[in-house]
């Protein structure tokens, strides 16, 4: 008969949390912020093709930090969920809150029941219209979902970056100011992240059904200059 050692639930959760946090801390962070006419997602990402930010639906975007294969799978599942929901019902029935909840449930399940917790943090952003508000939902590795009022930071360095992301004004800022602020918060005082290593996506009404736009290096450079 094999020996089973007793592990208290507190210890088990602590170990799993530590494991997930360590994995997440290895990657770089993401800042998402609401600006005066949309939502901007900014990731520090040296790769130009392995994206951390993605379009999900007409007014919904996704961002993930941590293990690439894990959050990319969640990204794909999100697109599938959104497209099939819109196909079954109507495009206007696709709601970011529902998607964030599904992510939260899945991450929660994996945290308690999975072989190992997922080493990811997810952000679901929604650009508001007359049906729904503009929202930033942050989903942590253990399934905690939080509704962030103005901006959200994902990744290992979240607390430091959060403090640096100065909310100087009460009112929402322009895209330029918000992006500069986000870039400064990600880089810290000692360095400057080159525009090529910033992955930037926005949700903004431009008269089209699809509001997501991935900004090119040139556009980012111009906004940061």
**Residues 197-216: x where in contact with another protein by CB under 8 A, - otherwise, as a string:** -------------x---x--
Residues that bind another protein (rule: CB under 8 A) add up to a total of 25
Give the separation between CA 117 and CA 130, rounded to whole angstroms: 38
By CB under 8 A, residue 87 contacts another protein: yes
Give the separation between CA 28 and CA 207, rounded to whole angstroms: 33
Which part of the chain contacts another protein (CB under 8 A), choosing from 34-42, 47-55, 122-130, 170-178? Answer: 47-55
The 10 Å CB-count burial string (b at 16+, else e) for 161-182 is: bbebbeeeeeeebebeebbebb
By CB under 8 A, residue 15 contacts another protein: no
User: Tokens standing for 141?
Assistant: 């590795």
Q: Which of 76, 92, 163, 196: binder of another protein (CB under 8 A)?
A: 76
Nearer to another protein, 141 or 151 (CB): 141
CB atoms within 10 A of CB 21: 18
Q: Which of 21, 29, 45, 54: binder of another protein (CB under 8 A)?
A: 54
Give the separation between CA 43 and CA 163, rounded to whole angstroms: 17
What residue ranges bind another protein (CB under 8 A)?
Answer: 49, 51, 54-56, 73-74, 76-81, 83-88, 102-103, 105-106, 210, 214
């Amino acid at each position: 008969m094999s020996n089973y050692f007793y592990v208290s639930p507190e210890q088990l959760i602590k170990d799993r949390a530590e494991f997930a946090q360590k994995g997440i801390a290895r990657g770089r962070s993401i800042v998402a912020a609401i600006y005066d006419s949309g939502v901007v997602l900014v990731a520090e990402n040296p790769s130009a093709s392995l994206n951390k930010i993605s379009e999900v639906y007409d007014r919904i975007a996704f961002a993930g930090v941590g293990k690439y294969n894990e959050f990319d799978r969640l990204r794909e599942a999100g697109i599938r969920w959104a497209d099939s929901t819109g196909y079954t019902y109507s495009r206007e029935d696709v709601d970011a809150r529902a998607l964030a909840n599904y992510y939260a449930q899945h991450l929660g399940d994996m945290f308690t029941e999975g072989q190992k917790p997922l080493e990811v943090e997810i952000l679901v952003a929604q650009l508001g219209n007359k049906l729904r508000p503009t929202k930033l939902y942050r989903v942590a590795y253990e399934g905690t979902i939080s509704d962030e009022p103005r901006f959200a930071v994902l990744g290992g360095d979240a607390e430091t970056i959060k403090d640096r992301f100065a909310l100087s004004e009460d009112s929402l800022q322009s895209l330029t100011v918000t992006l500069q602020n986000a870039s400064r918060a990600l880089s810290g005082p000692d360095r400057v992240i080159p525009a090529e290593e910033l992955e930037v996506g926005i949700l903004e009404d431009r008269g089209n059904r699809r509001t997501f736009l991935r900004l090119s290096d040139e556009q980012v450079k111009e906004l940061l200059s």
